[in-house]
A and B are shown apart, each in its own frame.
Chain A
Amino acid sequence: MSAITRNGVTIDDTFAEAFGMSGLGLVITADTLKWAKISAQVMTGFGTSVIGCGAECGIDRELSPSETPDGRPGVRVLMFGFSPDALKPQLLNRVGQCVLTSPGSACYNGLDSPTKLGLASGPRFFGDGWQTAKKLGKRRFWRVPVMDGEFVIEDKCGLTTEAVGGGNLLILGRDRAGLLEATEAAVDAIAKVDDVITPFPGGIVRSGSKVGSKYKGAIASTNDAFCPTLKGAVKTECSPDTIAVLEIVIDGLTSKSVAEAMRVGLKTIIETGAAKGVTRVSAGNYGGKLGQHHYHLKDLLP
């Protein structure tokens, strides 16, 4: 494997392997940005991996009042799942329990797409017959009476089956604190890219996994090749000076947006990483046989 070195950081000649997914976008507004974010954070919580959470969710970006249907501040959240059918119960439960319940909230479609998924199909019945709809142009808004006024929820939201889940960067360092700082900076840069989320805590995952396990019933287990504490005991991917490895996982509504997010993340690491102890950037793949999307790091170099 031939590697390239940029600005003191080694870039492995490898690729991230990602999967086709279904994705949808929502706009959540509230009286203040603070409360729109609270609702969105709770709604996208426990949404790190489809394996155990049912959906991968996150906040794409904040929206100014001029960008929302009701003229209030809001945020756009994205949700990704294996299929439209897998997203349905996630949407119902997350919107029903976390957005409907949040003070002053309203929930709208956040993705223009010819394919739609029912957004209000469940939550509107909370109105117990008092719910009414207002169709304006092509959009139908349900108004559900609640204790602080009305919960407004759009009838349908856009859905894409062209979404991509699992774009990633593995960042290796010889200093844990510096590595975390450098990776945080990359996550911040990726946050500025539209149509993508980094669903893990703070955008960073420390427990990269491999497929399979020695134990029956576990479909994934620790990625021992990238565990620095095992580097003498297993066929390791770590460098001799590797203290820690962090991963950024990226889901996007399009393959292009995922590639752009990886490019921006890689650029940030190259620009700022070496001083913080980042030594290498690699990427996670399964030999190229499982995922439809391959993002080669050398193609994404600045």
Chain B
Amino acid sequence: MSTLSFTLRQAPTQPINLSALIPSKLAGLSLGDIEALPLVDGPNALQVGDVFAVSGSLGETIAISGGSSFLDHVGEGLDQGTIIVEGKVGNHAGRGIKGGKLEIGGDAGAYLASTAKGGIVHVKGSAGDFLGGTRPGDRFGMLGGTVVVEGNVGQRAGERMRRGVVVARGKFGPAAGSRMVGGTLWTEAGFGARPGPLLRRGTLIGPSVDELLPTFADCGRIDPVILGILSRYVAQTLGPLAPKPLPPLVRKFAGDRATIGKGEILLTA
């Protein structure tokens, strides 16, 4: 499989928008064309060739060697193929991803996979605030697809999220699932304080919650069939990255009853 490689010439000193570097946008371009693509406009304008040494040939995979929190919008709008980043990335990585796979070797900034519609985002480090969330002007956050974060996740993950699954090996920060309309947040380590403010629908799964909102109602222990469906779905979608299957019994808290309250926090421990 042919790979197109981008190697950072030096550590960036200003935010760089890498949304142009996805296989479908680069299709048909020569290495020279790719190096001439603009990345930053204005007085400090930069082209791809100024930032990266480009090598290889375009196929299904793009590899970005190095990493920096100034690398924003990595894999934005990815619809097919794979993007592998060696190190960390900045904000908006995987925004609006529709298909394919984005693999980030280090940490990711804020708004990871916001408005994602499909595909898989895999972060080997931690992720920032508003994972799968909304930027100003977005009606909804994540709309589909799957995100796996090996580390912890920042505040307000899944803000106005509608569909899709986010799995974290680590912990979600405070107010995860805020204003969420649907979808699933699943942690193997637990939720920070007060998850699910104004949660309408959607599912938050984890072993523990630091502090529950008073507007969540304890529904006791339940064994719904959907647990098996979720476990199988993530196993099929993520393979070895999937979390451990859910236990047969969970404790359900229904909420947020400050709004329609059809969401749920499912405690696995």
Give bound CA distance, A149 to B224, whole Å. Answer: 6
Contact A135 B163 (CB under 8 A): yes
Nearest B residue to A140 via CB reads: B163
Contact B223 A149 (CB under 8 A): yes
Give the total of B residues in contact with A, Cβ under 8 Å. 20
Contact B262 A136 (CB under 8 A): no
> What class of interface size applies to chain A in its complex with B?
10 to 19
Give bound CA distance, A69 to B237, whole Å. Answer: 13
Nearest B residue to A129 via CB reads: B262
Which of A133, A135, A137, A150 meets B225, CB within 8 Å? A150
Give bound CA distance, A261 to B230, whole Å. Answer: 36
In the complex, what residues of B have CB within 8 A of residue A132's CB?
201, 262
Indicate if A70 sits at the interface (CB-CB under 8 A): yes
In the complex, what residues of A have CB within 8 A of residue B144's CB?
135
Whole-angstrom distance between the Cβ of A224 and the nearest chain B Cβ? 52
Contact A134 B226 (CB under 8 A): yes
The DSSP consensus for interface residues of chain A is: strand
Give bound CA distance, A156 to B163, whole Å. Answer: 18
Q: With A130-B262, A132-B201 as given contacts, are A137 and B226 in contact (CB-CB < 8 Å)?
A: no
In the complex, what residues of B have CB within 8 A of residue A77's CB?
none
Indicate if A143 sits at the interface (CB-CB under 8 A): yes
Indicate if A72 sits at the interface (CB-CB under 8 A): yes
Contact B237 A150 (CB under 8 A): no
Give bound CA distance, A72 to B228, whole Å. Answer: 8
Whole-angstrom distance between the Cβ of A105 and the nearest chain B Cβ? 9
Whole-angstrom distance between the Cβ of A298 and the nearest chain B Cβ? 46
In the complex, what residues of A have CB within 8 A of residue B203's CB?
134
Q: Which residues of A are interface residues toward B (Cβ below 8 A)?
A: 29, 69-72, 104, 106, 130, 132-137, 141, 143, 149-150, 152
Q: A134-B229, A150-B224 are in contact. List 11 more A-B contacts (CB 8 A).
A: A69-B232, A70-B229, A72-B228, A106-B225, A134-B226, A136-B233, A149-B225, A150-B225, A150-B226, A152-B224, A152-B229
Q: Which residues of B are interface residues toward A (Cβ below 8 A)?
A: 144, 163, 165, 182, 184, 201, 203, 222-226, 228-233, 237, 262
